[in-house]
Each structure stands twice: as structure tokens, then as C-alpha cells.
Amino acid sequence: MTEPPDSRTQETAYPPISDYGYISDCHSGALVSRTGSIDWCCMPRIDSASCFGRILDWDNGGYCRISPTGKYNVSRNYLDSTLILVTTFETDSGRVRLLDFLPMREGGASEPHRQLLRIVEGLEGEMELFAQVVPRFDYGAIKPWIKQYVGTAFVAIGGYQGLLLSGNVNLQIEKRHTLSGTFRLKAGERKYLSVLYRRPEVLGDRRVDVMPDEEVDRRFEETKDWWTRWISKVQCGGPHKDEVVRSAIVLKGLQNAPTGAIAAAATTSLPEAWGKSRNWDYRFSWIRDSVFTVRTLDQIGFTSEADGFRRFVERSTAGSAEELQILFGVGGERRLYEHVIEGLRGYRGASPVRLGNAAESQVQLDVYGELLDLAWSWHKRGHSPDNDYWEFLVELVNDAAKKWKGPDQGLWEMRGEPRHFVQSKAMCWVALDRGVKLAKDLGHRHLVEEWEKSRDEIRRDVETKGYDSKRGVFTQAYGYKDLDASLLLMPIFGFVDFTDERMIRTTDAIRKDLNQNGLIRRYSADNDGMEGDEGTFLACTFWLAECLARQGRIDEAKEAFEVGLSTGNDLGLFAEEFDASRGEMMGNFPQGLTHLSLIAAAVALWEESKET
């Protein structure tokens, strides 16, 4: 049975990343532990400062906990096809379930509730539970002042953040900065706790109405119905449909509803190497990851997400290739300067904790191909670019034609000297190839000849300088013999056929050289000069499964897919990386790139299995 959280020592305090579930309203996000503690929550946006954040500092980050007072067994699941998390506690005396969600509503893109709801329902017998709300604003920098608001409601105010805390759980103020209380729950009884985000000046003037008890049911049902309607559009079969559905819901939960931007992950600074400095902020919208996401969602029936992101990129770049960055804030922000939060210990001591991401100023040439591929896919579906968007695409193609010969930081955003990465060159080829196809279809044939020349020149260059003729495989970069799992993307984007002998050999070599217990590293250890030994990169394992499936190697593809699938937690959530030797998740969580790669691999297996 699980011990109450208070019985843990500092050394064992941090749960494994796999212990967390994710909830979202397509604005904010939160992580809920297996013990019923919200250890990470950012409102009003996924990239806002945390109001609960002890996943990055157990003592000072803050949390919101509801759990039994004694020993208990726990199980959990998502309610049907939703992001409503159900945690069931069972003790010798009774059984209860805890429902956690961020309420959704129609029209919520512009007017979200900005609320976290926690409902506890008695199922059998009777149980004593303990509730504690320990808000810590601005990543633990502020212990907010908690005071009574009206009736049994309280406000927590500090700096530029504020929370309205209400419900029918009996809580008391402790030392001005904490709410706590013990309560008993019998079968058929129900308690709830509401955490509502509002600016402190609004709460200070008492201009916010406390939610009436009867509104709890309505918001629960509306949230359940919203997710059920959204996922009903899914078009996928096969043995892994359940995993596809869960991953699609996670990707939707990472989207910012007002703008269409898609965050790469819900967290910052969960480590890629234990106790080291490979800690990054992923709560932004990477062009690459987002294009992969909308491409994948489009495969299974969610076409509106593709158009929403397309319009986000056009707005964020001001319609100009010169303004293109490889990532933006989820509201379109450009200045995402990376800096360190002093004083936070980091998850299990992995410091520094970072905000922002220095990759915003990097050159990564693959983005040209990803944006043109998205435009081409959208065009094939009958949504051709208008004149303004076409001008933007022409600029992108011309930029790719001009810049492809230079080095860049590559897909992996390496922070050393730039290199001539093969995958980056191949994606510049994709930009020229899709530009040529669009120009022909749209009647702009005067552009075709020069673009075709550049496209063909890129291919000759890559096939000469990016190919190891002795081994018969493509390499990571010009002048390097190392392999790179990003090469598995080349057939996915059409630079080379899946069944080309060079690609088959490259696939097998990656599978052999970058393998760790069946999982795939993104490149050789120490290849990037960074501190610490990172885990296997989970998207790469699913890319391998997709390649093997498209090569007709179904049994091998299934094997790779199942190994990748085994790294998820009991809720079907995946992190960025996995420590194959320790059997633990690593990196930010949940990670969109892992989930979308899982979907693409599952679709490939489903489609190719039907052909055999």
C-alpha cells in the first residue's frame, strides 16, 4: 500500500515522471501525481509562471493535494476519451474516486474558465482524507497571502498572480500561506475544490463571483461532452486505436485554443540527464514539432488543427520569411530569451531550472521544408494558398534555395559549432520540391525552372557528401561518419523512398548503432559535447517503427513499436526520453513529439498490415 506523502524523506520525495497524469483546457496545463497531488500547474497559459510547482522544488514549489490520511491502494484512468483524470483510492475502510480536470466549454477559446476542479466522490464505506492547498507563485518565488474572501471561499494573492479557492471542503488558513483540512467521506457523498485563476487586482476588489455548488455538475458534463465530441472525428482503426486516441487527446491538450499554436510539452526543465544541465523549457511552439503534429492529426481526421497552425505561423512571422523563427511563444511571442531561475533545486536536483529557450535565435534549415510540406498537403485537400500566403511561401522557397549550402544547428538544436546536417539539407530539398509542385498547380510556371535547378543540386550534394559509400548509408553531417536517427525522417518526407536500398541499410545501421535495450538514441553518445548522458529519444523509436512498416517489414516494425509503447505510463502518456538502464522516463512531459510519432507509426502499421 502507498504511504501518505508526509512519510517520505527528501531523498525519495520526487515521484518518477511516470507517476503523473496530465490535464488541460487548451490554455493551461497541470500534472497530477498518483498520490492526488497537483505538483505542476501554470495558469492562465501553459507557459505562464507556475502557481503549483514542487516538481521543480519539493520544498518550495507549492502543490494542491487531496489524498487519504492513512495507507491506501491507488488506481487511475482517464474517463472515457477525455482529459478528465480519475484517481481511485482504496483503504481498509472505504473507496473514493478523485476527478481532476480543467473545465472546457463551447466558446472557451476566447473565454476559458481558467479553473481547476477537483471532485471527490465516496464509492464504498467511509474514508478520512486530507486536503492541502499550498500555492507558490512565480515558480516558488512568492508565498501568496491567503485570506478569507466570502463565506468559505479564500483568495491567494501575490505579485501579478491570484487564485480564488472555493468549494465545500472545510479548509483553514495556516500561517497566512497555506490552506488545509481533514474531512470524512461516506459512500454517495461528494466534496469539491475549485481553483480559479484571476488577476489579484480583480480579486482584491471582490469582483469575482464564487461558483455555486450546482455549477459543478454542469461544468463536469460540459467538459466530458466537449472532449467526447472532439475525439469522435478520429479516423483510425487497427489494434492500437486506443493509444492513437489517447495521444491525439494529449496533442490537443497541448494546443493553445485562441492562436492554434501547439506547445512541444507541458513542462520546463525536467532533465534529459540525471543531475546535469540538460534542462530546457519546452512550453513553446516549435515550427517543426507543430508541423509534425498537424500532419499527424490530419492523417486521422483532424484537419482544422492544420489550418489553425498554418494561420498562426503566417501571423507570427508577419507574413515574411525574414521574420521566421524556429519557435514562438504560444501567443506568437518572439522574444523567448533563455534565463535561469536561481534558487530552484530542480527535479531531483537537476539544475539549472530554465525559462525561455535560446534555440529561438538558432538557424535550423529544416523548417523551410516542413512549412512547404504543410502548405502542399493543405493544397491537396482543396485549400490552396491565397495570394498573400503564396507570396510568403515563395519567400520561404527562395530562402531555402539561398541558404541550404550553409551549416545550421540541426533538428536537435545542438549548441556547439554549426554543422552541415544531412537531414537539414534534405528538408531544404523538400521545400524546393513542394514549391515546384505548388507553382505548377497554381500556374506560376515562371518560378519552376530555377527552383528545379536548386532542388536537383541539393540532391546531388546530399547523395555525394552526406553518404558513406563504404557502409552504404547516409550520415549525420558532411564530414562525419556518425549516424543520426533524424535520417529516418528522409523517406517520411519523400527525399528517398522507404524501400530504397540506401535507406534500408541506413535504417538497419541506426537500429544497430543507436540501439539501447531496443530503444533508439538520437545520435551517438558525446556527439554534441553537452554534459551528462541523456536517455533514448522516444520519437526515434517510433520513427524506426514507421520506416520498418513502410518497408514491408511488419514483424520488425511491430517489435520496435511495442518496445516504444512499453515506455508509456499506465495512463498512456509519454515523456521525451527514457532511461533504458533504469527503466525511467526522462525529459519534459508529456512530450508532443513522442505522441505524434506514436500515432504516425500506428497508422503505418495499420495501413501496411492491411496490404499484406
* Spatial contact of 35 and 63, defined as CB atoms under 8 Å apart: no
DSSP state of 472: T
* Spatial contact of 585 and 17, defined as CB atoms under 8 Å apart: yes
Residues 303-335: tens digit of each pLDDT: 877 778 778 887 887 767 887 888 999 999 989
Cell of 217: 455538475
| Helices and strands (DSSP H and E) totals, the chain | 15, 26
Cell of 182: 481533514
For the chain, give percent helix, strand, coil, nearest 5: 35, 25, 40
Cell of 210: 464564487
Average pLDDT, stretch 159-168?
A: 95
Task: Give the CA count within 13 Å in the CB-facing half-sphere of 342.
Answer: 0
* List of domains in the chain: 5-229 (2.70.98.10)
Cell of 343: 534558487
Write the single-letter amino acid at 98: L
pLDDT at site 1: 64
Partners of residue 103 on adjacent β-strands: none
Cell of 389: 500566403
H helices of 300-404, in order, are 303-316, 366-380, 387-403
Residues 318-377: tens digit of each pLDDT: 767 887 888 999 999 989 999 999 989 999 999 999 999 988 888 899 999 999 998 998
Average pLDDT, stretch 219-238?
A: 94
- Does an H or E element contain 437, and which? helix 422-442
In which residue are the cell numbers 523509436 written?
541
pTM, 2 dp: 0.95
Is 90 exceeded by the pLDDT of residue 187? yes
Give the integer Cα–Cα distance in Å for 329 and 336. 7
* Spatial contact of 612 and 555, defined as CB atoms under 8 Å apart: no
Q: What is the mean pLDDT of the chain?
A: 93
pLDDT at site 89: 98
Cell of 42: 501554470
